[in-house]
């Protein structure tokens, strides 16, 4: 029988992406930023669509359905209604955003048709249907349909879609039903983003930095306690079912392009917003701790309420807040649900996957088959490059020397040896990851045992804040040697405690230390991946799904006794993860990375060739 081809698209907010389904199989999925090299690119994902079609060897007229991940008219209605409620305060925001909406965004159907036909120079078929999927159904669908579970409770939670900012639902076979919706402006995502802004990070980008900063806060300090109390008493009201109500005297995102009413915050918290890039004072770490703590309380309440209603064993999560791996682990620890699966591209990029699945299972009513595996293919859903393409690119650079090593065991031996010698490796292998995490296809690798490595990687390779932790990749079969953790975590969506016997004691005066001094505190025998609270955002690496990467770590274990390495995304600060060999070479050359592996090629900078 002829397969059904469905193209899912998310665009115009942040993390534009597209995804191609052939029946219920994801053929490809990729964010537009990887091609345009603009981080979180919100523009129409024409490059991504082109890749998805080319990869499947399809022309646009072969698409049966194209589906956009939200309903623009309802979103437009929200903007209008919010404006009229708050006029004239909202006038500037209204005047600036309306032309874009009236000119193009509301006419998405036309844009989709025009962009594809003009830019790809091919006609869509008159039979290709263009559909729209509600924003939070796209998130829910992205979390449930590709998951391992036949039935599950569903939690979606983000900044805002059309009106919804969170939903509670239930998925069973090929159906999703919602029974609760939290509406704008009450938004857990926007609450967290407000603190992202106030602690000096970029909204819709720096949320994970805020999460990483939180454990540097002192849970016992008077300030931290006061911040938590203030958030809960003044900024929001948290109800028993986990729903929240924001006190809009403190927030500005509904009437302007600002997140918060700064005057109110300064008066209430007693500190001004931190200037981006300025020194991080302990107050801001305490504030990060406070909001993370409140977020976790809200999520736990939501999850308990959800469990009470659905009585289901499993939970799936979609929407940007799902990337808060610390909160995900707290939820798991509460044992409200036996297991949790989070869509790895939980932000709006994943909406492209969800919208496509919603068409297949819900619009077309096609059966959903669960075979004990998730359908994300390890997230290896992007472009890949063969030896010929790589060599052709390498030859353009006269400051590189390289050779081909087709014997994988020899290649792994050499790279394991270099990692053991504290060298930093760019690792480019197979199809690029979909979603924000590098999982062994576009990764930078290094030795987790080196106490200097966190600082070295942050400052000399990634050019980012020194406090930020690195994630470990560990052989799945050895996970329990390093972590108190008992289940696969192939997508780095959970944090796990490093085993007690690997930890170093916390000095008594530890909480008096400056954040900068805390960086030098050696926390375990794998210090570079052990965060300040002894947690790590782990990736379990499985032989069956990620063989080449697994083989490298196994070789490292044979050499050193350690089956764990640092795995951080192959990019520098402010840039998207590398996609092409050219991107990888450029990133390699502008950092102090020691060696680059691209498929069978081992590459060094000319002046630094290894013997």
Q: What are the residues binding Fe ion (CB under 5 A)?
A: 158, 348
Tell me the CA end-to-end span of the chain in Å, nearest whole number.
Answer: 56
The rounded distance, in Å, linking the Cα atoms of 555 and 535 is 25
Looking at beta carbons only, is 204 or 539 nearer to Fe ion?
204
Looking at beta carbons only, is 76 or 604 nearer to Fe ion?
76
Looking at beta carbons only, is 348 or 599 nearer to Fe ion?
348
At its nearest, how many Å lie between Fe ion and the CB of residue 597?
Answer: 35
At its nearest, how many Å lie between Fe ion and the CB of residue 139?
Answer: 6
At its nearest, how many Å lie between Fe ion and the CB of residue 278?
Answer: 30
At its nearest, how many Å lie between Fe ion and the CB of residue 161?
Answer: 5
Torsion of CA 603, 437, 274, 42, to 10 degrees: 100
CA 410 to chain centre: 33
At its nearest, how many Å lie between Fe ion and the CB of residue 494?
Answer: 21
At its nearest, how many Å lie between Fe ion and the CB of residue 534?
Answer: 32
Q: In terms of DSSP bridges, do strands 236-238 and 244-246 run parallel, antiparallel, or are they unpaired? A: antiparallel
Torsion of CA 203, 205, 207, 212, to 10 degrees: -140
Looking at beta carbons only, is 21 or 166 nearer to Fe ion?
166
Looking at beta carbons only, is 157 or 231 nearer to Fe ion?
157
Q: Which of 412, 432, 460, 463 is nearest to 602 (CA)?
A: 412
> Are the beta carbons of 205 and 268 closer than 8 angstroms?
no
At its nearest, how many Å lie between Fe ion and the CB of residue 135?
Answer: 6
**Cβ contacts of residue 28 below 8 Å, gap of 6+?**
19, 20, 51, 52, 55, 56, 381, 382
Looking at beta carbons only, is 193 or 473 nearer to Fe ion?
193
In whole angstroms, how far apart are CA 470 and each of 62, 125, 152, 451, 483? 43, 47, 31, 12, 15
At its nearest, how many Å lie between Fe ion and the CB of residue 345?
Answer: 11
Q: Which of 603, 575, 593 is nearest to 35 (CA)?
A: 575
Looking at beta carbons only, is 161 or 378 nearer to Fe ion?
161
Q: How many CB atoms lie within 10 A of CB 487?
A: 13
Q: Which two tokens stand for residue 565?
A: 């390495």
Looking at beta carbons only, is 153 or 193 nearer to Fe ion?
193
At its nearest, how many Å lie between Fe ion and the CB of residue 145?
Answer: 17
**Cβ contacts of residue 371 below 8 Å, gap of 6+?**
none
Looking at beta carbons only, is 18 or 545 nearer to Fe ion?
18
Looking at beta carbons only, is 158 or 433 nearer to Fe ion?
158
At its nearest, how many Å lie between Fe ion and the CB of residue 217?
Answer: 27
The rounded distance, in Å, linking the Cα atoms of 115 and 540 is 40
Cis check: omega of the bond before 502, within 30 degrees of 0: no
Indicate the residue whose CB is closest to Fe ion: 158
Q: How many CB atoms lie within 10 A of CB 276?
A: 11
At its nearest, how many Å lie between Fe ion and the CB of residue 178?
Answer: 15
The rounded distance, in Å, linking the Cα atoms of 9 and 131 is 10
Region at 335 (left for phi over 0; alpha for psi -120 to 50; beta for the rest):
left
At its nearest, how many Å lie between Fe ion and the CB of residue 156?
Answer: 8
In whole angstroms, how far apart are CA 528 and each of 326, 483, 504, 523? 18, 14, 13, 9
At its nearest, how many Å lie between Fe ion and the CB of residue 10?
Answer: 8
Looking at beta carbons only, is 231 or 321 nearer to Fe ion?
321
**Cβ contacts of residue 58 below 8 Å, gap of 6+?**
5, 20
Looking at beta carbons only, is 303 or 355 nearer to Fe ion?
355
Looking at beta carbons only, is 286 or 348 nearer to Fe ion?
348
The rounded distance, in Å, linking the Cα atoms of 263 and 357 is 45
In whole angstroms, how far apart are CA 452 and each of 427, 449, 457, 522? 21, 9, 9, 9
């Amino acid at each position: 029988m002829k397969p059904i081809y469905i193209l899912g698209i998310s665009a115009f907010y942040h993390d534009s992406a597209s995804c191609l389904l052939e029946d219920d199989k994801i053929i490809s999925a990729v964010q537009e930023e990887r091609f345009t090299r603009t981080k979180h690119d919100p523009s129409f994902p024409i490059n991504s669509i082109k890749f998805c079609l080319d990869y499947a060897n399809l022309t646009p007229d072969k698409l049966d359905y194209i589906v956009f991940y939200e309903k623009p008219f309802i979103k437009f209605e929200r903007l209008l209604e919010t404006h009229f409620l708050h006029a004239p305060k909202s006038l500037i925001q209204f005047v600036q955003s309306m032309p874009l909406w009236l000119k193009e965004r509301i006419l998405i159907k036309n844009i989709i048709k025009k962009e594809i036909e003009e830019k790809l120079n091919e006609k869509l078929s008159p039979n290709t249907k263009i559909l729209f999927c509600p924003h939070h159904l796209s998130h829910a669908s992205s979390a449930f349909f590709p998951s391992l579970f036949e039935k599950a409770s569903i939690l979606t939670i983000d900044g805002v879609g059309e009106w919804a900012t969170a939903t509670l639902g239930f998925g069973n076979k090929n159906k999703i039903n919602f029974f609760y919706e939290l509406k704008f402006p009450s938004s857990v995502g926007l609450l967290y983003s407000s603190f992202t802004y106030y602690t000096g990070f970029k909204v819709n980008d720096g949320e994970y930095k805020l999460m990483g900063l939180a454990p540097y806060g002192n849970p016992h300090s008077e300030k931290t306690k006061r911040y938590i109390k203030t958030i809960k008493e003044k900024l929001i009201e948290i109800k028993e079912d986990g729903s929240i109500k924001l006190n809009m005297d403190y927030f500005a995102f509904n009437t302007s392009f600002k997140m918060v009413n700064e005057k109110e915050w300064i008066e209430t918290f007693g500190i001004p917003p931190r200037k981006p890039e300025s020194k991080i004072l302990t107050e801001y770490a305490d504030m990060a701790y406070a909001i993370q703590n409140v977020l976790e309380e809200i999520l736990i309440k939501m999850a308990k309420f959800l469990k009470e209603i659905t009585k289901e064993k499993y939970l799936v999560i979609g929407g940007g807040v799902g990337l808060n791996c610390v909160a995900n682990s707290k939820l798991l620890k509460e044992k409200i649900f036996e297991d949790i699966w989070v869509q790895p591209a939980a932000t709006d990029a994943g909406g492209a996957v969800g919208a496509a699945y919603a068409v297949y299972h819900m619009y077309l009513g096609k059966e959903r088959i669960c075979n004990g595996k998730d359908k994300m293919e390890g997230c290896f859903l992007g472009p890949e490059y063969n030896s010929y393409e790589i060599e052709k690119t390498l030859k353009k650079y006269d400051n590189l020397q390289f050779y081909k090593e087709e014997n994988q065991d020899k290649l792994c031996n050499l790279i394991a040896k270099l990692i053991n010698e504290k060298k930093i490796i760019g690792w480019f292998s197979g199809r690029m990851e979909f979603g924000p995490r590098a999982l062994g296809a576009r990764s930078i690798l290094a030795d987790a045992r080196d106490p200097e490595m966190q600082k070295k990687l942050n400052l000399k390779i990634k050019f980012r804040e020194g406090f930020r932790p690195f994630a470990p990749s560990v052989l799945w079969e050895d996970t329990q040697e390093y972590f108190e953790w008992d289940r696969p975590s192939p997508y780095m969506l959970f944090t796990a405690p490093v085993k007690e016997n690997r930890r170093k004691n916390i000095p008594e005066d530890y909480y008096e230390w400056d954040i900068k001094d805390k960086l030098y505190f050696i926390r375990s025998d794998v210090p570079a991946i052990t965060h300040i609270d002894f947690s790590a955002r782990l990736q379990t690496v499985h032989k069956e799904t990620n063989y080449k990467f697994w083989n490298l770590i196994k070789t490292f274990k044979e050499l050193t006794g350690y089956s764990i390495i640092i795995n951080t995304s192959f990019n520098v600060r402010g840039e998207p993860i590398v996609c092409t060999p050219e991107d990888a070479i450029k990133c390699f050359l502008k950092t102090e990375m020691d060696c680059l592996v691209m498929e069978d090629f081992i590459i060094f900078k000319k002046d630094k060739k290894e013997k």
